[in-house]
Amino acid sequence: MTVVITVIGWSVGWRWPQIAGVSLAVLLGQLSVGWSNDAVDAADDRRAGRAEKPTVAGDLSPRLLGVAAGLALAASAVQSWHVAGWTGGSFHVAAVLLAWAYNAGLSRTVWSWAPYALAFACVPPFLTYGLDGSAPPAWLVAVFSIIGVSAHIANALPDLGSDRSVGLGGAVVRWGERTSSRLAWVLLAAGTLILAVVAAPRSVLLLVWVVAGFVAARVYAARSTSPDALFHALLVAVAVDLVAMVVAAS
């Protein structure tokens, strides 16, 4: 996310050295989100046997990780307001707090998708209000929100079995693999359509890239026998849309 937001920021006009400040704010926010997630989920990760987690392996205590997450959150907020002002910075702070709300409990409910939709929708106004006080184009906010929910589904699908085995909820667990994957493709199709409409007047090559990327990912998911095919295909489709957004926003 740090790389993606930095690249999007450059495409809308951020330049050195301010772009470094944006990257730092996002990196600190992402660290706080990842650390708080591992701290909150330590017991569940232990029951699921996720030995790669430092809290399960015994390398870090959940309490220490939680303290580090809180410090990173505070630093991210200060840096966000410093580099993007009160309005722009507040959008990024809101995005990070939404991610914390997901970690704190929304991840276990049928509303687990909502923090992703809202947090990703906060990214464009963070960048545009922070740059020059202007509102972001509506299509950019919509596509970012769509990609956020699609990324949530793609990220949750590989853990569906283990999450269900330890009694976790979450939208993907409740919807099941088939419904979740169908919804992800419907959302990505909507995002692709929006990007196609935006790209068509600007570049035929960009239009072809958006449509071809979506079709190729969908065909791969349908024909591959790999158990991870759906997950990889969704990630490819998301990556194609992100590249298109960077180009279209420039």
| Domain chopping of the chain, boundaries | 1-133, 137-250
Q: Are 10 and 40 within 8 A, CB to CB? A: no
Identify the pLDDT of residue 81: 98
Fold match flag (1-133 vs 137-250): no
Mapped onto helix, strand or coil, the DSSP state of residue 228 is: coil
Q: What is the pLDDT of residues 132-154, one digit of tens each?
A: 999 999 999 999 999 889 888 88
- 207/193 Cα distance (integer angstroms): 10
Class of domain 1-133 as given by CATH: mainly alpha
- 15/4 Cα distance (integer angstroms): 15
**Amino acid at site 144:** F
To the nearest 10 degrees (0 to 180), the angle between helices 2-12 and 229-249 is 20
Identify the pLDDT of residue 45: 66
Rg of the chain in Å (alpha carbons): 19
CATH number of 137-250: 1.20.120.1780
Q: What is the pLDDT of residues 71-109, one digit of tens each?
A: 999 999 999 999 999 999 999 999 999 999 999 989 888
Q: Alpha carbon of 250 to those of 12, 47, 84, 89, 243: distances in Å?
A: 6, 47, 19, 21, 11
pLDDT over 90 (residue 131): yes
